[in-house]
């Protein structure tokens, strides 16, 4: 249950409204003078059965306890949530307690990183940056990319950065802690990055937290990263994510590559939904950063490593580490557990041998999207790699295939999906399904056994069995704002009011729609999403994660679906109003002065419902005709 639902369950709307308006019982409902407009006969009704209110007078609007408080006290959603949570005695999840002392220290480290970036950028532009600029040109990086990613150069000197920062008043101890300088045995210090092309690593907010450095002369290692610091832990950071957030949300999926250069090249070519894991195995924390944006992950694996023994060994390692809190990935079981648990869709893309995304995008950018689209589900991928070296015609090979793939299949939680792969395995080893199932049940590990001390997994967000209509409409419009015009035109054509906040029943959806509509054109919608209060962000995440893939569907198809969906949405809203009106009529007292007003509203609502029904039936028959024509 979300905090909103819990609050609504605990509070009675009649009590809350009564604090602001004097209500009188009228049948099973309550009525009073509308607190939002001035009137002499009461047309403001509160419906205890549905816990809603409606003004049948000048306002012509209604809602639940949240919308009442927001409207009445002029609060935004977050404020209303706090107010009502307090009233209902519902504990909201605490916003992160800030330790000011520690924050100040981290702030200092951020500042040092920012100063270091400026220094490296300056050197790149100076005469000393000549080789680095040539390197950037050779890699095909343009000025815009260099600026956007704040690329720089660390001169091949022992104390260039350290000297510069200390001169500017920074403490040696802080520079050490930031990992930018290294202490020498003799007590002196020297720069960590020397003679390297510098790639700043930023957190999701865009603050620099570390560096990657590519050596330009001969030497090892080719890439050097900042060490682990209070700001930087490479298992928790995805390179490029600060710039990729918007594109990931817009596209509905993320592509995870291995190197900095891959990301730079992808973004430069306009593929903005690409991030890199910086040469470490992907961790669950990495994916945690993404899960707010999407549940569709495409991994680009280095083809030279993807099928090698290391990956296959991962299968065994995975078994040993299964009960650890952090599931190391990529291992088949790690991935699949993660996929099942988070309801994620993980696919693997493999590039032609000897090519990485950097080369591919630079040489043949038109091939990138087809490659991404050809990515295969992670289980299919492990079928491929784990049977590559086996002779399927021999008994030994078959037995080994079952031994390797069995544990993977047992991780698949979805029964239908598991059956699919059991059948696939049966075909692969030319056995019947029953044999494979028996074999698997022998090798199946105990499930649901949690070792003492292992933290319990947080409860999963219950996923609605069908993606609700309201959320569907929001998901499409948020992804494709250009469709709003179509929706407005549709209603205009039917002489109906535009799509509005009132069309949504759930307060989170109402509010999301309202604040989204208020956002000015051209406004950075990522910034908008980030600034939403937690409860709304959670709803936004849910909507975007489960929404339809507007990219994958044909435009006509999406338009047809959204038009139908908003019609259904409006119909639902009108049904709510007319249901309330019916209750009113049934319980109305003789000589109720507002009766004429109710009747007028009922006439309007009935007419609007008829218009909607007509439009819907036209669409259905149109759809049938199109279908028939296609068949013919
Ligand atoms: Zn009113």
Using one digit for the tens of pLDDT, what is the confidence trace for 49-91?
Answer: 888 999 888 888 889 999 999 888 888 888 889 899 999 988 8
**Least-confidence region, from 67-71, 313-317, 354-358:** 313-317
Check if the beta carbon of residue 327 is closer than 8 Å to that of residue 278. Answer: no
Is the alpha carbon torsion for 315, 417, 339, 549 positive or negative? Answer: positive
pLDDT at 361: 94
Q: Which of 280, 256, 281, 393 is nearest to 331 (CA)?
A: 281
Is pLDDT at 444 greater than 90 in this prediction? no
Tokens standing for residue 569: 């949405």
pTM of the entire predicted model: 0.55
Q: Which residues 6+ apart lie within 8 Å of 17 measured at CB?
A: 23, 30, 32, 35, 46, 53, 65, 68
Between CA 244 and CA 266 the distance in angstroms is 11
Pairwise pLDDT comparison (611 vs 443), residue with the higher score: 611
Report the separation in Å between the CA atom of 53 and the middle of ligand 1, taken as the mean of its atom positions. 10
pLDDT at 337 over 50: yes
Residue 296 alpha carbon to ligand 1 centre in Å: 45
How confident is residue 314, by pLDDT bands cut at 50, 70 and 90?
very low
- Per DSSP, what are the bridge partners of residue 24? 31
Whether 208 shows a pLDDT value over 50: the answer reads yes
Q: What is the pLDDT of residue 27?
A: 79
Mean pLDDT for the chain overall? 81
More confident residue, 355 or 147: 147
Looking at the predicted structure, is the pLDDT value of residue 317 above 60? Answer: no
Q: pLDDT-based confidence at 590, cuts 50/70/90?
A: confident
Spatial neighbors of 307 by CB under 8 A, at least 6 apart, are 384, 385, 388
38 Cα: distance to centroid of ligand 1 (angstroms): 7
Band of residue 498 on the pLDDT scale cut at 50, 70, 90: very high
- Cα of 435 vs centre of ligand 1, distance in Å, is 70
Q: How sure is the predictor about 550, in pLDDT bands with cuts at 50, 70 and 90?
A: low
Which two structure tokens, joined as six digits, stand for 263?
């990301």
Cβ neighbours of 132 (radius 10 Å) = 25
SS3 state at 304: helix
Distance 608 CA to ligand 1 centre (A): 21
pLDDT-based confidence at 628, cuts 50/70/90?
Answer: low
Under the banding of pLDDT at 50, 70 and 90, the label for residue 124 is very high
Which of 151-155, 158-162, 489-493, 529-533 has the lowest average pLDDT? 529-533
In the reported structure, the alpha carbon of residue 35 is separated from the centroid of ligand 1 by a whole-number distance in angstroms of 7
Q: How far apart are CA 610 and CA 604, in angstroms?
A: 10
Interstrand relation of 181-183 and 208-215 (parallel, antiparallel or unpaired): unpaired
Q: What is the pLDDT of residue 615?
A: 92
Q: Taking 50 as the threshold, does the pLDDT of residue 515 lie above it? A: yes
Query: Half-sphere exposure of 495 toward its Cβ, with a 13 Å CA cutoff?
Result: 7
Maximum Cα interatomic distance, the chain, rounded to a whole number of Å: 98
End-to-end CA distance of the chain: 50
The sign of the torsion formed by the CA atoms of 624, 625, 630, 632 equals positive
What percent of the chain shows pLDDT beyond 70? 81
Whole-number Å distance between alpha carbons of 53 and 515: 22
Helix (H, G, I), strand (E, B) or coil at 429: coil
What single DSSP character describes residue 214? E
DSSP 155: -
User: Residue 31 Cα, ligand 1 centroid: separation in angstroms?
Assistant: 12
Q: Does residue 279 have a pLDDT over 70? A: no
Q: How much distance in Å is there from the Cα of 70 to the middle of ligand 1?
A: 15
């Amino acid at each position: 249950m979300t905090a909103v639902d819990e609050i609504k369950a605990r509070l009675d709307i009649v009590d809350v409204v009564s604090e602001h308006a004097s209500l009188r019982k009228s049948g099973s409902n309550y009525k009073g003078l509308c607190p939002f407009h001035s009137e002499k006969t009461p047309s403001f009704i509160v419906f205890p059965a549905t816990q809603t209110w409606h003004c049948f007078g000048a306002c012509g609007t209604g809602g639940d306890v949240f919308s009442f408080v927001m409207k009445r006290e002029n609060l935004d959603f977050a404020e209303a949530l706090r107010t009502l949570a307090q009233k209902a005695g519902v504990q909201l999840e605490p916003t992160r307690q800030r330790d000011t002392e520690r924050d100040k220290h981290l702030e200092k480290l951020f500042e040092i990183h920012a100063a270091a970036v400026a220094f490296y950028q300056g050197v790149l532009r100076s005469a000393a940056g000549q080789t680095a600029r040539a390197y950037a040109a050779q890699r095909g990086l343009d000025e815009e990319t260099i600026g956007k990613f704040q690329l720089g150069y660390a001169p091949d000197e022992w104390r260039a950065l350290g000297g510069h920062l200390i001169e500017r008043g920074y403490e040696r101890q802080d520079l050490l802690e930031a990992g930018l300088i290294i202490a020498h045995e003799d007590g002196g210090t020297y720069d960590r990055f020397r003679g390297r092309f510098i790639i700043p690593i930023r957190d999701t907010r865009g603050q620099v937290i570390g560096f990657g450095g590519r050596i330009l002369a001969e030497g090892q290692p080719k890439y050097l990263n900042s060490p682990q610091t209070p700001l930087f832990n490479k298992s928790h950071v995805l390179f490029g994510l600060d710039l990729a957030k918007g594109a990931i949300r817009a596209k509905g999926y993320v592509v995870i590559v291995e190197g900095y250069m891959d990301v730079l090249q992808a973004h430069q070519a306009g593929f903005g939904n690409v991030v890199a894991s910086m040469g470490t195995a992907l961790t669950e924390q990495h994916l945690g950063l993404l899960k707010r944006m999407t549940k569709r992950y495409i991994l680009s694996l280095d083809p030279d490593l993807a099928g090698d023994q290391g990956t296959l060994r991962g299968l065994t390692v995975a078994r040993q580490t299964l009960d650890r809190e952090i599931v190391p990935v990529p291992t088949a079981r790690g991935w699949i557990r993660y996929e099942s648990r988070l309801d994620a869709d993980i696919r693997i893309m493999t590039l032609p041998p000897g090519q990485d995304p950097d080369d591919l995008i630079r040489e043949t950018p038109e091939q990138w999207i087809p490659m991404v689209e050809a990515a295969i589900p992670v289980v299919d991928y492990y079928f491929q790699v784990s049977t590559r070296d086996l002779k399927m015609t021999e008994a030994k090979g078959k037995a080994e295939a079952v031994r390797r793939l069995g544990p993977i299949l047992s991780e698949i939680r979805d029964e239908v999906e598991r059956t699919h792969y059991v059948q696939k395995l049966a075909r692969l080893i030319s056995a019947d399904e029953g044999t494979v199932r028996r074999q698997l049940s022998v090798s199946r590990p105990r499930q649901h056994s949690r070792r003492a001390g292992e933290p319990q997994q947080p409860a999963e967000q219950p996923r609605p069995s069908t993606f609700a209509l309201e959320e569907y409409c929001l998901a499409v419009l948020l992804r494709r704002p250009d469709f709003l015009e179509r929706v407005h035109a549709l209603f205009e054509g039917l002489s109906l009011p535009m799509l509005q906040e009132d069309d949504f029943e759930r307060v989170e959806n109402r509010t999301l729609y309202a604040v989204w509509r208020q956002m000015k054109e051209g406004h950075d919608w990522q910034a908008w999403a980030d600034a939403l209060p937690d409860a709304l962000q959670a709803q936004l995440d849910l909507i975007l994660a489960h929404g339809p893939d507007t990219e994958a569907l044909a435009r006509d198809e999406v338009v047809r679906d959204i038009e139908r969906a908003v019609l259904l949405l409006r119909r639902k809203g009108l049904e709510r109003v007319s249901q309330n009106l019916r209750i009113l009529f049934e319980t109305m007292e003789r000589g109720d002065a507002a009766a004429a007003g109710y009747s007028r509203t009922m006439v309007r609502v009935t007419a609007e419902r008829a218009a909607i029904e007509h439009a819907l039936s036209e669409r259905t028959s149109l759809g049938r005709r199109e279908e028939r024509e296609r068949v013919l």
